[in-house]
Structure 1
Amino acid sequence: MSTFKELGLNLNIVKALTDLGYENPTEIQLQAIPQVLTSKQDLKAFAQTGTGKTAAFSLPILEQIDTNSNDTQAIILSPTRELALQIANNITEFSKYTNGVKTAAVYGGTNIDEQIRKLKRGVQIVVGTPGRTVDLINRKQLKLSNIKWLVLDEADEMLNMGFKDELDQILAVTPKEKQTLLFSATFPQEVESIAKNYMYKPVELSAGQKNKGSDQVSHQYYVVSERNRYAALKRIADVNPDIYSIIFCRTRRETQEIADKLIKDGYNADALHGDLSQAQRDSVMEKFRKKHLQILVATDVAARGLDVNDLTHVINHKLPDQIESYTHRSGRTGRAGKEGISIAIVTAREKNKLHPIERIIGKKFVNTPIPTGKEICQNQLFKLIDKVHDIEINETEIKDFLPSIYEKLEGLNREELIKRFVSIEFNTFLTYYENAPDLNDSEHMKGIDSRGKRRNDENMTRFFINIGRKDKLNPSRLIGLINDQKIGQNIEIGQIEILDTFSFFELDKNYESNTISAFEQNDVTFDGRKVNVEITTKQRTGRGGRSNGNRKRTRDNKPKNDFGGFGRKRSDNKSAFGGGNKSPKRRKR
């Protein structure tokens, strides 16, 4: 196998790599480093997350950088500030023994004046997010007229985040004669368009098949009812005592809610999302990297700059809207030659979303039973036994206490001592899961017919609301409107149907009167329109047919008609974070 020296890198860079524990180049480094060193052609490179893309583009740039000039010679663009900082830190480490290399990270959410001062002192390599880079260009503080290299890292994510206009503005002030290096973990059509518009006859390299998942990652899915989604999540964590995981959520609000629930239930967890300040995000990420946290609940964007090699699991609390995002998520585990597990928690009606993902990653999802209470207790017990067996005994410190301890335990035989000792930590799990329901029974199929459609659920009440698509209502905005009324804690929201001028939604029937009262007393409006909510009933007819039914008489005692749920239906459920008894308080590990 080739070494970094054989690839053409100088001894100072090789020495720095050795200090960092880099022994042999990865596949993408083997291909990209010689290409950039020996050619000025543009480069389009595919490599999965965690395969060493940063070194693949930064090492050959460092090899060729002119340290006698303070002009900016390379601009590296990344989608998030976390990733920009990570790249800049990596370059600083790689150039540890190379005198005169100056690197700056520029990104939003922090003082721009300090970044400007650093640029004025002269830096050869700038790593920036698109928004802050454009800001500095407009202020005439960042000059890219003499750059030799333009790197687009995580190009797919930059497009997903809506940075196309910023990329256009940056490209417009760069010289025609430069080498453009595009690196991406997935290559959707939008990224191919970037290559076509911004690059000239690029060489294409690929470390693995495009958009294909890592061979080191296995994929599992658990089928749950919506109300048991959080309960299933906890069981997955409990059955894996050594879990070190990122739980991905789709929204900032959902991320914070799940993290808060886990923390309350005693898990070593925290949240990472865009509503946190930069200082908060840095603190959370540092704790997670040092394994002071076992579980990080994050949005896709916030986790982009998180470089961790030892994740045991990636858990999709809900599947992402875009298939490519699943590839990014699952690529966070199974890195550096280690195996990992990517888990999707889905409802029966969401199972069909797995098929297109399987085609993209080239692997099948394995249907996995939700752990039972017995399985969890068994795993936790054996973990405790292993911990006791492997503990290092400090004879010097405890010897003075042993006579008193022996005296107190006199009369207990070996079997009794073991039982009592194990029960100290184990009883909480045993008590909690002693009568825990089996989440794998047919409960998750209640209310679902053979086509995956929801039948009438006797535990849910259906409500009419007088706003719809023409009012720019969508499921997420309706859920937010309901939550704003503070009807009840963790109330379950069932099926939602958004029609043109009105809509329907289902709530736990125990909150019927609370719901009506909340909307009336709060005098609710939506984009300036008075909101009216009433209880309704619905009897469905055949497929696509008009349904009949009547809304119950409301307080004004006026009967209302129900226009039913014909046409295309949309639904969106919100987890009630159920799970029965209060969770066992877990000892921080």
Structure 2
Amino acid sequence: MESDIRCNETTSEGRNEISATDVDRDVSFRDLGIVDVLCEACEQLKWKSPSKIQKEAIPVALQGKDVIGLAETGSGKTGAFALPILQALLVNPQRYFALILTPTRELAFQISEQFEALGSSIGVKCAVIVGGMDMMSQALTLAKKPHIIIATPGRLVDHLENTKGFNLRALKFLVMDEADRILNMDFEVEVDKILKVIPRERRTFLFSATMTKKVQKLQRASLKDPVKVEVSTKYQTVEKLQQYYIFIPLKFKDVYLVHILNEMAGNSFMIFCSTCSNTVRTALMLRSLGFTAVPLHGQMSQNKRLGALTKFKAKNRSILISTDVASRGLDIPHVDVVINFDIPTHSKDYIHRVGRTARAGRAGKSITFVTQYDVELYQRIEHLIGKQLPLYKTEEEEVMVLQERVSEAQRVAKIEVKDIETRTFGKGKRKKGGGGIGDDDDDVNSQGVRKRLKGRKKVNKYKK
């Protein structure tokens, strides 16, 4: 296998690097060194051949080296670290064998599904440890000593500090998926605490679509002479993704959104908003116009978040309206169109958002809404991806025909949001166990709003 890979020992940052041209394209998982039982699991998952990042990362990982993996989103990064870990587990069976850290709860559940699917024939036990779930039931799961723990940093620290008998002193593998997010300031305290209580003698993998080049952050993760495998030399999006922008006045954003959804009817959409409240408002507005939309945001309870994702994955809902909690790592094969309704503040988030479509070789489309206040942010995105996007063409007259209907839907949504806030938070107090607004019929029910509106009109009439 060493003859297939050419390592450069004298890179600018003192790391080994592998270029995409060094790996033969027509190889199988067996050729990479994966054992038969795991190759069969790949076949059952319909993974016909390794992706680029898998071709490069797996042989290096099997040689016992630490890995920094950089590849565009949707390129099969989970398989690139899951297969070497499961193969090592076969050789040396052990509880608390590997820890996978992820920035979001949804991504943790998705990674767990892949580990369980790949390891089903060898009896791998996984535990998902994330916030928003019951601590006691998680503690009982950890007491059963699973092989693989997939966790968000904050909740894992809670268990390391408070769950009696739980420790990771024998851990063999640490993986940081979406590593740039985990190594930034958001999780700094938690990651430092975790690194202090796990063995220094371990294997470490960092994987992400975008990665900071600051060496200090990589050193914080305690990598030892890592090999950097990279299938893209700059921040980029996949080739089969058609990207557009649309320049519109802020006050007409909703009208243009409805026009595009009508024009592309029959497709599956992910719409990204910048705030939790805007995801809910937009979902309510679209529902009142007859669209099957479901919101997903950080203030929802974990059960509602998983419920919303399940409905969208099962195609019971054609539109998922989300904050950036869904922008990283989630693999939903049938997403046809990504709409950046609110432009991302951080340019790198654009890469992750549009990566929800055109995954694993499929085609996809993205449209970014740019208002008069977003020009600078949009220019940063174009600079980052190194290309100017074409304008998505619309006829203004066709769009503005919808203005009256959209205005009514906005009014309905505004009243329903207030109604939900009253029921959720009461008189200034948040309900115990409340997690924000989800996809319950009671929460998002435009017909109910219309009935209440009609009732109010009648009351006003009698007052006169």
Aligned residue number for residue 130 of structure 2: 107
* Equivalent of 2:199 in 175, 188, 192: 175
**Letter paired with 2:103:** P
Distance of 1:112 and 1:70 partners within structure 2: 24
Distance of 2:384 and 2:174 partners within structure 1: 29
Instruction: Note the 1:480-519 alignment, pairs <5 A.
Output: none
Cα deviation for residue 306 of structure 1 reads 3.0
Q: TM-score, normalised by structure 1?
A: 0.62
1:300 is aligned to 2:324: yes
1:82–1:304 contact (8 Å) kept in structure 2: no
**Letter paired with 2:161:** N
Distance of 2:403 and 2:154 partners within structure 1: 50
Distance of 1:223 and 1:30 partners within structure 2: 41
C-alpha spacing 1:62/1:119, structure 2 compared with 1 (3 Å) = same
Paired residue secondary structure (2:114): helix
* Equivalent of 1:124 in 143, 147, 151: 147
Distance of 1:152 and 1:325 partners within structure 2: 18
Q: TM-score, normalised by structure 2?
A: 0.78
Distance of 1:202 and 1:152 partners within structure 2: 14
* Equivalent of 1:263 in 275, 282, 287: 287
Aligned residue number for residue 457 of structure 2: none
Distance of 2:52 and 2:381 partners within structure 1: 25
**Letter paired with 2:195:** L
Stretch of structure 1 that moved more, 167-176 or 299-308: 299-308
**Letter paired with 2:319:** I
Distance of 1:92 and 1:67 partners within structure 2: 18
Cα deviation for residue 243 of structure 1 reads 2.2
Instruction: Note the 1:269-348 alignment, pairs <5 A.
Output: 269-304=293-328, 306-348=330-372
Aligned residue number for residue 262 of structure 2: 238
Aligned residue number for residue 12 of structure 1: 37
1:109–1:278 contact (8 Å) kept in structure 2: yes
Cα deviation for residue 302 of structure 1 reads 3.9
Distance of 1:233 and 1:159 partners within structure 2: 35
Cα deviation for residue 316 of structure 1 reads 0.7
Aligned residue number for residue 160 of structure 2: 137
2:126–2:148 contact (8 Å) kept in structure 1: yes
Cα deviation for residue 362 of structure 1 reads 2.3
Q: State the Cα deviation string for residues 263-288 of structure 1 (Å, max 9, x = none).
A: 11111111000121112111110111
Cα deviation for residue 351 of structure 1 reads 2.5
Paired residue secondary structure (1:166): helix
Cα deviation for residue 116 of structure 1 reads 1.6
1:54 is aligned to 2:78: yes
C-alpha spacing 1:349/1:129, structure 2 compared with 1 (3 Å) = closer
Aligned residue number for residue 24 of structure 1: 49
1:313–1:341 contact (8 Å) kept in structure 2: yes
Identity of aligned residues (%): 35
Cα deviation for residue 12 of structure 1 reads 1.3
1:84–1:305 contact (8 Å) kept in structure 2: no
1:74–1:125 contact (8 Å) kept in structure 2: yes
Q: State the Cα deviation string for residues 163-212 of structure 1 (Å, max 9, x = none).
A: 1110111011111111110001101356x532133222211011223322
1:81–1:305 contact (8 Å) kept in structure 2: no
* Equivalent of 1:147 in 168, 171, 174: 171
Aligned residue number for residue 221 of structure 1: 245
Aligned residue number for residue 181 of structure 2: 157
**Letter paired with 2:293:** A
C-alpha spacing 1:436/1:166, structure 2 compared with 1 (3 Å) = closer
Paired residue secondary structure (2:321): strand
Aligned residue number for residue 201 of structure 1: 225
RMSD over equivalenced CA pairs, Å: 2.4
Distance of 2:179 and 2:93 partners within structure 1: 29
**Letter paired with 1:281:** R
Distance of 1:245 and 1:193 partners within structure 2: 39
Greater radius of gyration (CA): 1
Distance of 2:111 and 2:326 partners within structure 1: 15
**Letter paired with 1:162:** D
1:272–1:303 contact (8 Å) kept in structure 2: no
C-alpha spacing 1:120/1:68, structure 2 compared with 1 (3 Å) = farther
C-alpha spacing 1:241/1:34, structure 2 compared with 1 (3 Å) = same
**Letter paired with 2:166:** L
Distance of 1:371 and 1:143 partners within structure 2: 61
Aligned residue number for residue 36 of structure 1: 61
1:272–1:284 contact (8 Å) kept in structure 2: yes
2:73–2:329 contact (8 Å) kept in structure 1: no
Q: Which has the higher helix share?
A: 2
Distance of 1:490 and 1:80 partners within structure 2: 29
C-alpha spacing 1:119/1:67, structure 2 compared with 1 (3 Å) = farther
2:97–2:147 contact (8 Å) kept in structure 1: yes
For structure 2, list consecutive stretches of 5 or more residues without a partner in the other structure.
1-25, 405-410, 416-449, 451-464
1:187–1:210 contact (8 Å) kept in structure 2: no
Aligned residue number for residue 63 of structure 1: 87
1:219–1:364 contact (8 Å) kept in structure 2: no
Distance of 2:267 and 2:185 partners within structure 1: 30
Instruction: Note the 1:465-484 alignment, pairs <5 A.
Output: none
Paired residue secondary structure (1:167): helix
Paired residue secondary structure (1:92): helix
Distance of 1:260 and 1:8 partners within structure 2: 51
For structure 1, list consecutive stretches of 5 or more residues without a partner in the other structure.
377-431, 438-486, 492-581, 583-589
1:219–1:341 contact (8 Å) kept in structure 2: yes
**Letter paired with 2:254:** Y
Instruction: Give the length in aligned residue pairs.
Output: 383
**Letter paired with 1:63:** Q
Distance of 1:488 and 1:332 partners within structure 2: 30
Q: State the Cα deviation string for residues 297-348 of structure 1 (Å, max 9, x = none).
A: 0000244353212221111111111011111101111112112112111113
